[in-house]
Amino acid sequence: MCGLLGFLTSDVAAPDTVEQVYNALHCVRHRGPDERGTWHDDDLIFGFNRLSIIDIEHSHQPLRWGPPENRERYALTFNGEIYNYLELREELTEAHAAEFTDGKIFDTEGDSEAIVAAFHYWGPDAVRRLRGMFAFAIWDTETKELFLARDPFGIKPLFLATGTGGTAFGSEKKSLLELLPALGLSDALDPRAMEHYTVLQYVPEPETLHADIRRLESGSYATVRQGETPKVTRYFTPKFQVRPFAAGTAVARYREIAEAMEDSVAKHMRADVTVGSFLSGGIDSTAVAALAMRHNPKLITFTSCFEREGYSEADVAAETAEAIGARHIIKTVSPAEFAAAIPEIVWYLDDPVADPALVPLYFVAKEARKHVKVVLSGEGADELFGGYTIYREPLSLKPFERLPKGLRRLAGKLSDRIPEGTRGKSLLHRGSLGLEERYYGNARSFNDAQLRSVLREFRPEWTHQDVTAPIYAQSRGWDPVARMQHLDLFTWLRGDILVKADKMTMANSLELRVPFLDTEVLKVAEGLPYEQKITNDTTKYALRQALEGIVPPHVLHRAKLGFPVPLRHWLRGEELYDWAQQTIAESQTDHLLDKGAIKGMLDDHRTGRIDHSRRLWTLLVFMIWHGIFVEHRITPDIQEPVYPVSL
């Protein structure tokens, strides 16, 4: 787990560009505090900050590798982990060791060389053989071609910017911001991306809030030559195609799920440092921790919570840790800590993400880093196995589907006349719409009327369907639950869940691994019929059946709570109300936002007239982001990471 940065020049790498890349590495030092390395030739500059996890004493980066005729043909920078690297190394050695005079393909014991060797022998198809999380860049010094790739789910980030000066790429956007002048690019904002953010609560891929910086999408690779724009190819698309449960096969299918998870966790435990696990009160993190205990009986688990009643799963997590025999550590986050950390957290995020759960995640990661260098977590289970309660909506809206289109439209018009916050308004509105119109992921923030009131330039033609329509086109003919899962894999998961997981852990130089997001686990999840995911009584039905005997009974059938944050209460009281007022007053976003309308929303929220907490949080986080990256008025105190090389 590391931070990479690179610059493919349009002509010849000038000395000052090399220095600029080296200096830009400093702002991503938290991703790799163990060592820093650079390499360059006449055309390309690589920079790297390493968090050493596997083959600590070797596998330094940027890494050079090549076939017998040119042992330094390729240069690599790589962020992530390849969990099947031992199997890949063995396969490559058996097939090609005889070509080398000493019979040795590899000079290290790590996974980095396996990537380059696989690329040399298998070409771009090598990415389909990699089981792990990754963002990497390979420079071929002979063909003068740059190859960039990102893992299937988008666990690890990769930002791109191409201008007259060349192409820059990196693990964090803030490092590319420093290189924009060398690229001949501006730091202008993207108004469409901003509008998408206000609706979705995150900036959807491939956009960023800076118009000239994009992201390489999950499950994609790109090839780049000097003076050309990157050519992007999608190599991975999940397909939720049902394999019906034949009579008498249920037990065998559940066993497939359990075995896939056991194998995934076993491979995710591969490390030369201590591995811990995050633990909430839910089935996902509990399953991961329980399986991890089989490989490390001294496993340490971590959770965070708030003191307010109803906003803590600490007691359940502690009971779970005791049941599986893990040592457990709890971090309680106070409102004062919460508010004080927001500027620092937003700086680490690169682009705003309006999910308040990332704040306690930041604190539990900080606590975990005192004890371990790697943690496992349960992200991805909901998207793969049908865990969100919103996935039950197709069942609840079935009566609307039987209505003639005219009556459904009438229900929509009726919902428009019902006051905001009235019970039943949302049901009528959503029942009047088809799936592709109503569902754009787990985040639901501003509607059009609300956007008009707060955005200075509201563009109604920029809708969530800009983002969702191409994704829905891939799933035509699937059942509605599968279509919702598929959409969330490309929106909510990679836009919110994985961004906050990566950014908040790497802010603390902590590697986070997600065993559910494994291509072998996906294979057993893709074929599940919807009734094995969603029932009238529960979610993730098949997964719960598969984990019986692995997950303690008090968790196995427990309803999903998520990570609740008492934001609604804090924005009404002394905890965050004054902070919110000050943030609005000091923000220099009047040309973008109607601050008077936002102040009115805050006052309405405080009186309890309307719950605006999530909408307010979306705008407040943007204001903090704007104050840091645009106004340069807010300067978070980012400490130098100081950690031992191994833990």
- Type of residue numbered 352: P
What's the CA angle centered on 129, arms 495 and 265, to 5 degrees? 65
Cα-to-chain-centroid distance, residue 476: 26
Alpha-carbon separation of residue 262 from 22, 391, 417 (angstroms): 41, 26, 52
For residues 7 and 17, is the Cβ–Cβ distance under 8 A? Answer: yes
Alpha-carbon separation of residue 210 from 106, 199, 202, 398 (angstroms): 41, 17, 14, 41
**DSSP-derived secondary structure letter, 88:** H
What's the CA angle centered on 520, arms 515 and 525, to 5 degrees? 90
CA distance 154 to 168: 19
**Residue matched to tokens 């982001």:** 625
**Residue matched to tokens 């070409």:** 123
Instruction: Assign 596 to helix, strand or coil.
Output: helix
Cα-to-chain-centroid distance, residue 76: 23
- Give the residue from 139, 183, 137 showing the smallest Cα distance to 156: 137
Q: Which of 1, 2, 324, 487 does the annotation list as catalytic?
A: 2
Strands 35-40 and 44-50: antiparallel
- Type of residue numbered 481: V
Alpha-carbon separation of residue 124 from 29, 93, 232, 457 (angstroms): 30, 19, 12, 43
Q: Which residues pair with 5 in a beta bridge?
A: 47, 170
**Could you give the residue ranges of the DSSP H alpha helices within 355-441?**
358-368, 381-385, 393-396, 398-401, 405-417, 425-431, 435-438
- Give the residue from 250, 312, 255, 252 showing the smallest Cα distance to 280: 312
591: left (phi over 0), alpha (psi -120 to 50) or beta: alpha
**Could you give the residue ranges of the DSSP H alpha helices within 513-611?**
519-526, 541-546, 553-556, 567-570, 577-586, 595-607
Q: Which helix (H) or strand (E) holds 620?
A: helix 613-629
What's the CA angle centered on 48, arms 495 and 151, to 5 degrees? 35
Residues in the chain: 647
* 305 noted as active-site residue: no
Which residues are CB-contacts of 189 (< 8 A; sequence separation ≥ 6)?
Answer: 209, 210, 211, 630
- Give the residue from 548, 645, 555 showing the smallest Cα distance to 284: 555
Residues labelled as active-site residues: 2
